Structure 1
Amino acid sequence: MALLKMGRNKILYLICLLFLACREEKQEKRSLTFAYCILNPRFKHQEVIVDSLYGFESEINDTSGISGAKVFLLEVETGETINFVETEKKGIYRDTMRENWVKPLFTYDLFVAFQRDTLWGRTKVPDTFRITFPNNFDTIPLNDFDSIIWRRSLGRKVYFLAVIPPDTAKPLIPIVTEDTFVSLAPFRNFYFDTTAFYTIKVCAWDENRYRYMVMKNLEPDTLGDGLGHFASQTEDTISVFVRR
């Protein structure tokens, strides 16, 4: 079973903590192992990418991958452990749960062990929310499309908004904001330059995601002995028809 019973899980967690505590504090080495994972309660399965630093710097979606790593997450509030197994794609590990298990406002610890490296990180998942204006599949005249509004997400650091045009070759100019609305007046002619369906996506980012994407400009975090990115987000997506 992917979720272990409480008693066994506590033993596993204590062993892990003792293992980390017993490592030589003055050991100086730069690990080439990294882990990449973004938890999202919208998805049934979560994935962890384990690779070398070279693969991380070149292209995260074109990973060469590391096989044989031990990967699991700990749900801090309940003490439950979720194990990950490697998929047919080298270096990509996926949970074996049969239903959605990531809970909004819960805290999760990631542990990855490979050879002499142990990576760990923590994230607290923002609450779910929804876009309240416009509605999904609305038809809106451009001159009436003044704003995008959504409900507040508890636990988020910021919101990330992207308008995805029908022409996927057009560059995306996302907006990062702490507010629960965006005024479109200054740039609606740029976003909606033709009569068509557009996808509007709003994400609520945790602190880790914000730091990685905005403050550090995609520079990986230190995760124990290695590097990488462990964060969480929730999101809502709608499609609207904009008529110029």
Structure 2
Amino acid sequence: MRGTKRKISLPRRFLIDFMHASMRVPAISFSRPLDVGPLMAARAKAKSPPGWAAVFVKAFAIVAQDEPVLRTLYVKLPWPHFFELPRSVAMVAVARTECGEEFILPEKVPDLESRSLAEIDAQIRRAKNAPIEDIPTFRKILRASRLPLPLRRLSWYLGQNFGRMCANNFGTFGVTSVAAYGPGDLRAISPNPFLISYGVVGPDNRIDVSLRWDHRVTDAVAAARALNRLEQVLNTEISAEILACGAHQAGP
């Protein structure tokens, strides 16, 4: 059967490289439903509640403040070792459509501990809607994707295996979801040492959350403990910040 040859776009070329790098990470996952009743009550009272991606980014960063392993990378150069970062850096999967093509690009969200939930949400929304050339992370990705394949493979290998470069390129954790399109079981892979995905909140105020992690860094006990703590943070610190922001919005 005759077909049509199509050129691979730069965003799709990046995703091909991304998958190649992800397959090198020996990751496993743990999933469980989280009860987010207090969080849902807080969101219901807010005039403009933050998006779920921002909620999970900020919540996981709070959890990682007390769990250094959640800020730890495994790198191979100049010899295999762990590289612990003082702060969390998130990479959020952002769905874009350009020239009729749908694709995903990761937006780097740093300084999570010092930023408000509203600021984090604004950055993610801007990455979703602003022109691609206006987003520094996207410009860097597409510029690197123009390199020939051997140079791209070399740059990805170096970027994954030097401590600072790994932190700058992949952060300490990623967040992804397709919950906006309905319920489902997303089992994503990533070069990130930790990857969170979440589903749709059910009528019982429960949301399925999955944590995938690099098994070289830690084990299932730490992952289960992180999800337990994540549930607490969502219903306490995050809910309180949403309520405080809602009160500020209602004040005028």
Task: Indicate the structure whose relative CO is greater, using CA pairs within 8 Å and at least 6 residues apart.
Answer: 2
Of Structure 1 and Structure 2, the greater helix share is in 2
Larger fraction in strand: 1
Determine if the TM-score, normalized by the shorter chain, exceeds 0.5. no
For the pair shown, which has the larger CA radius of gyration, 1 or 2? 1
Given the two structures, how large is their TM-score scaled by the length of structure 1?
A: 0.31
What is the TM-score when the length of structure 2 is the normalising length?
0.30
